[in-house]
Chain A
């Protein structure tokens, strides 16, 4: 009997009696990371990496029943051995490794293979079956090394500075924001939206070495923002607040910025292809490294990527899940 099945509530391990990243309320939700499409409110208990806990407490409620695990430590639930391995996606993101009677299954959630300077780097785990995302599962998605992308971002910032423009980077509050902060910290103050500031405080309390940032409040002078770097989540990208800034120049940091149409659609002033998801070569190398006999492909270019894997001798199956809409997260923020 298979170790996992894809049900209308989420990825289910029958033997263990728990779900991984369920989208309907269950008894025990093993959580790969804190993005809104992977963790929902209303489960009786949560199990996640210790650095994902502050995210869940902040987003879902301070009295949430959350149990944590460090990476590489095995526990047993109803006879199923469970351990977490770094997924490299955001701080605290984990791949869930399950083992039962010699069969090993890894659910990777979202992942990227390049080290981003702040999240524990992705670690390939050998298994029989592997659940992989396919957000950027097309050969057009090949990221430049992050140092090159950050070089472009820094040039853009100093160019804005010279032209007395305010540099506003648009990035998801969880993950991309911390990655930007870590890699852009230097002589300029970094100002962050409160949704980012709240997460940062949680991470710092949990021991993450995150550079100093300044929470944006109404009494911060626009002149100071103009001299620094501003980071806000996508929900604020075309709001009133942006218009109040001193000639803001917006830069979106997202894998979708790889394609011109993506850049134009969002009508930002600049687009930087910086993603927390694996690119095409990244997906392929990660999957090969697992040596899995069977790969389940979830959210993204599901059918295209599955077909390619099958044609290249890797048995792949398309799976329908409700992951892949991180923007939902930002919609929630907007309402809050």
Chain B
């Protein structure tokens, strides 16, 4: 072997090792992410009860257990809606936010999403809860002390239930009278 080959072989070997190592790391990341995506998807069962604790001062996100489809009764669903009503954040709660919390989706909106998610899931699993859900959504969009985004989502759900029931009007009288054009605009962003 001449001098040039003695130099180039270890350099080439080193480059190959480095290249394949970085490729393997990327592949591992992709593989892990695919697993994560499937594990957290629809195949997952209803979330178990877990109280989460934050190590920083940004608060706690709670997720409590839901009865399964066969176990939930109408009275349990009614209790669920009453609990959600109490837990939805009011405009007053927003005044207590720190500036950095307000810049991104704050924890109190994330928590409200969890509560509304429980209702949506229970309703999806038990369509016969629709009449109770309509009452909840109507109360929600009518409450002037709730923020527009929550009222908008409740309005959208109320409208969708009404349309599923055969009503063809885009908005009914109480939906128009109890909300503002801004809230209606938000509600229209939710697909039918």
Q: Do A and B come from one complex?
A: no
Residues of B bordering A, CB below 8 Å:
none
